[in-house]
Amino acid sequence: MEKIEHIGIAVKNLVEAEKTYTALLGISPYKREAVESEHVTTSFFKIGETKIELLESTSPESAIAKFIDKKGEGIHHIAYAVNDIISEMKSLKEQGFTLLNETPKKGADNKLICFVHPKSAGGVLTELCQEIR
């Protein structure tokens, strides 16, 4: 893994959360993007080398809606940048981690992504992401 690429934060209302994070971080979001396959709308802030991804659900069935129902708003996942997502996935699987998808999926912000189940990663939903080159 190379670095923390972003931290995902589940929010109820993206517009309100954007205002809060703009005030908190002193910068504006650089992009808003819908990820239809995940039923979310995302908003990204760049803070140094890392990004903050705000996630608002677009469907009651989405992982974000379920998370907010259970735990409320807050940190949802940590995403690590990787150079070669296929080999990282293979290596994690061999070590016993539970991957939530067999092949990388297209995520927000021009990334190939794969999630690792929180139950196999110390209670933290973990995402691998590789820039689409």
Task: Give residues in contact with ligand CMX (CB under 6 A).
Answer: 8, 35, 38, 40, 42, 55, 63-64, 66-67, 70, 76-77, 100, 107-108, 115, 117-119, 123, 125
Strands 3-11 and 50-57, by their bridges, are: parallel
Residue 39 is given by DSSP the state: T
Residue 86 CB, shortest distance to ligand CMX, in Å, is 19
Which residue's CB is nearer to ligand CMX, number 87 or number 98?
A: 98
Half-sphere exposure of 88 (CA within 13 A, CB side): 20
Which residue's CB is nearer to ligand CMX, number 19 or number 66?
A: 66
Residue 21 CB, shortest distance to ligand CMX, in Å, is 16
Which residue's CB is nearer to ligand CMX, number 16 or number 69?
A: 69
Which residue's CB is nearer to ligand CMX, number 31 or number 117?
A: 117
Which residue's CB is nearer to ligand CMX, number 26 or number 37?
A: 37
Length of the chain: 133
**Measured at the alpha carbon of residue 27, what is the angle toward residues 26 and 31, in degrees to the nearest 5?**
155
What are the distances in angstroms from CA 66 to CA 33, 57, 61, 111?
A: 20, 9, 7, 24
Residue 93 CB, shortest distance to ligand CMX, in Å, is 16
Residue 32 in 3-state DSSP? strand
Give the pair of three-digit tokens for residue 4: 């923390």
Residue 105 CB, shortest distance to ligand CMX, in Å, is 9
